[in-house]
Amino acid sequence: DVKVTQSSRYLVKRTGEKVFLECVQDMDHENMFWYRQDPGLGLRLIYFSYDVKMKEKGDIPEGYSVSREKKERFSLILESASTNQTSMYLCASMRTSGYYEQYFGPGTRLTVT
């Protein structure tokens, strides 16, 4: 079974802090994704990565950056956290060949106060 893990289930940070959310997958998938999930809005794509050191903007990249130094790890960075970034953050991974099924991690619920 594919396993996608996220470093924290719950996180509380202050406005202006730099925040790192970590995601690790164990199936050697080439593609990794960060989404945020908000009630009534569904999931929205923030950034994704096809390969190590590669990144692509999703639908809502403003206020975020990402880092992918190793194939199995994809980090989401909030340079200066703001209250409107309070949300559930979901990481996913997917292999390139075959069917494009994404596997999701358990999520990190971030609260910015």
Contact residues: other proteins, CB under 8 A: 30-31, 33, 35, 40-45, 48, 50, 56, 58-59, 90, 94, 96, 99-107
Distance CA 92, CA 30 (A): 11
Sheet with 4-6: strands ordered across: 4-6, 19-25, 73-78, 65-70
**Would you say 48 or 64 has its CB closer to other proteins?**
48
**Would you say 17 or 63 has its CB closer to other proteins?**
63
CA angle 71, 57, 54 (to 5 degrees): 30
Q: How far is the CB of 26 from other proteins (least distance, A)?
A: 15
**Would you say 16 or 106 has its CB closer to other proteins?**
106
Q: Residue 108 is encoded by which pair of tokens?
A: 């990190």
Q: How far is the CB of 17 from other proteins (least distance, A)?
A: 26
Residue type, 83: T
